[in-house]
Chains A and B, each alone.
Chain A
């Protein structure tokens, strides 16, 4: 039963626009008495959306773990908990590194949407600056490039982590046979 709730939550958050989710929280939370500033609301909305995406990624990575390897672990008498903890999860997370990195990049880009609820993130400030300077083209172009830089940094980090984890594979050609 917990599973179908999770599945539903993931399905909803992945198939509706983030903007709609954001507005739902921004306009809706005050109605039920939770009044916080836009940054908090934005963070909540973003966290929920990203969690759904990541859950999907990790789930599919868990499913692609080689079943025979898992079976081998079980055959030695390891408990389910240990098999999950020591075999399935480590393998799944290594596979998930790249997709999660990509999701993180997406996250950075999606933060710009928070500007629509008056959060002064990069985009929010850009709008203000553009309004003040009457130079929207220059401002937004610089911001565009700025996001690219942020993205490249994140990707670089992910690639670095990936290389670190799989460093042993680079030696392969010499040791085979």
Chain B
């Protein structure tokens, strides 16, 4: 029994690590890409748009296989299972993040752009001083939803061999042959992680709302 707990614990840590790192990296990258898209940078914007469409309209599993099994065959890049997992999840998260950011930016009323422009403010100034503070507030709830979703989908990395929580479950399942206990337990751990995340996210949202309200009292 204690050994089993260790296996689960190890898997839990791996899941947490992969999820957290890909979420953070993916969000940052997605944010930057969204700005590129929004600013309509000549060639890059189109590339970003294509990238986003490809990665949000295809299953993560396919993306994982593509990176882990496919890339080594055509390039010299041969990531480990974990490396491929983090890479793919980061890219996947980034794609969804772009959508969230763009929606949030679009949610800021057009009139503000016009007003700021009429005062002679440049695009970066408007963005940084006016639009982003408001947009960030709008971005938080969907990002939380995305995070909870990505936590669940991260379970797929077990398929390419990463020793995450699901893999721990598979190992224990094969050994103890008690699926009715193992899988609900694994599921419960994910469930608790999701709920804890949602709880803290709600707190953060409240704090951000309190701080930023004076920027956009009507919104």
- Taking each of B58, B170, B186, B195, which has the highest tally of chain A beta carbons within 10 Å of its own beta carbon? B58
Say whether chain A's binding surface is mostly helix, strand, loop, or mixed.
helix
Of residues 120 to 173 in A, which have CB atoms within 8 Å of B's CB atoms? 123, 126-127, 130, 134-141, 143-145, 147-148, 151-152
- Say whether, besides A28-B179, A31-B180, A18 and B59 are in contact (CB < 8 Å): no
Over the window 178-215 of chain B, the binary record of Cβ atoms lying under 8 Å from chain A Cβ atoms (1 yes, 0 no) is 01100110111011001100000000000000000000
Interface size class of B (residues with CB under 8 A): 35 or more
Q: Chain A contacts of B74 at CB under 8 A?
A: 137
B194 engages A15 (CB within 8 Å): yes
Of residues 44 to 71 in B, which have CB atoms within 8 Å of A's CB atoms? 53-54, 57-63, 65-66, 69-71
Judge whether A44 is part of the interface by a CB distance below 8 angstroms: no
B153 engages A17 (CB within 8 Å): yes
Q: Chain A contacts of B195 at CB under 8 A?
A: 15
9-residue interface stretch from A57-65, A66-74, A93-101, A108-116: A108-116
9-residue interface stretch from B103-111, B124-132, B154-162: B154-162
A144 engages B187 (CB within 8 Å): no
A28 engages B183 (CB within 8 Å): yes
- Say whether, besides A23-B166, A126-B62, A137 and B190 are in contact (CB < 8 Å): no
B58 engages A144 (CB within 8 Å): yes
Q: Chain A contacts of B70 at CB under 8 A?
A: 136-141
The list of the 5 closest CB pairs from A to B, nearest first, reads A137-B70, A17-B155, A27-B179, A24-B183, A112-B59
Complex CA gap A140/B70 in Å reads: 7
* Contacts from A to B (Cβ < 8 Å): 12, 15-21, 23-24, 27-28, 31, 105, 109-113, 115-116, 123, 126-127, 130, 134-141, 143-145, 147-148, 151-152
Complex CA gap A111/B154 in Å reads: 16
Q: Chain A contacts of B58 at CB under 8 A?
A: 109, 143-145, 147-148, 151
A113 engages B156 (CB within 8 Å): yes
Q: Chain B contacts of A139 at CB under 8 A?
A: 70
Complex CA gap A64/B191 in Å reads: 27
A23 engages B61 (CB within 8 Å): no
B179 engages A113 (CB within 8 Å): no
B187 engages A12 (CB within 8 Å): yes
Closest-CB distance, A110 to chain B (whole angstroms): 7
- Which of A17, A18, A23 makes the CB contact (< 8 A) with B179? A23
Judge whether B30 is part of the interface by a CB distance below 8 angstroms: no
Closest-CB distance, B135 to chain A (whole angstroms): 22
Across the interface, name the chain A residue whose C-beta is closest to B63.
Answer: A144
A110 engages B187 (CB within 8 Å): no
B65 engages A19 (CB within 8 Å): no
- Which of B73, B158, B166 makes the CB contact (< 8 A) with A137? B73
Complex CA gap A127/B160 in Å reads: 12
Across the interface, name the chain A residue whose C-beta is closest to B170.
Answer: A23
Closest-CB distance, A88 to chain B (whole angstroms): 26
A141 engages B183 (CB within 8 Å): no
Across the interface, name the chain A residue whose C-beta is closest to B56.
Answer: A151
Complex CA gap A112/B186 in Å reads: 21
- Say whether, besides A27-B179, A140-B69, A12 and B191 are in contact (CB < 8 Å): yes
B69 engages A113 (CB within 8 Å): no
Judge whether B173 is part of the interface by a CB distance below 8 angstroms: yes
A147 engages B62 (CB within 8 Å): yes
A143 engages B62 (CB within 8 Å): yes
Closest-CB distance, B64 to chain A (whole angstroms): 9
Over the window 136-170 of chain B, the binary record of Cβ atoms lying under 8 Å from chain A Cβ atoms (1 yes, 0 no) is 00000000000010011111101100000010011
